[in-house]
Amino acid sequence: MTVAQERALADLWPHFGIDFHGDKLDLNSVFARSARCALEIGFGMGATLAEMAGQSPDWNYLGIEVHRPGVGNLLRLLSERALGNVRIICADAVEVLNTAISDDALDAVYIFFPDPWPKKRHHKRRLIQPEFVSLIGKKLRTGGLLHIATDWDEYAQHILSVLESTPLFSNLHEKGCFAPGRGARPLTKFEQRGLRLGHGVWDVQFRKS
């Protein structure tokens, strides 16, 4: 963790951070306003979340990440860009969804470039599994968006298959099809580098029916 990230955690966590103790969150109280709310699970270093929040100030954004340097970096970005529509939880996403987020509370859920666990014996560790997708479906309002992106072809096929077999969701595009582009998802430096190297990126967008 860099000095700047440590300083951001110390100075800015009280303003943007939510100490997770398993209690149910009132999102209107958390953000001190009523607005549509998007959740990003595993925001990494926070650049994408900060950019989305800057582009849509009328939305509230909740980010979940366990990597403390990433949390510190996002806090730094929020301060530098004077963004007030983001709150952060540093905890396991499954625990947060199960205990802290009410059903039908979210308008969008973003999961960008989750760990692909490429070795077959590790596939069971992948985040995108039927049970987890069903949990997200409970937390989304009807019509809410689930947007997942990956740069692993085989994982992309797995994600598409899991979502199309989940009754709560319908493909925003044709059945069996990936999204034709990123949609509102910002292009990251990581992704730019991959594209220059010829790597593919697959976006999956589904609505809660």
Which residues are part of the catalytic machinery? 115
Rounded to a whole number of angstroms, the distance between the first and last alpha carbons of the chain is 42
What tokens does 25 get?
A: 């969150």
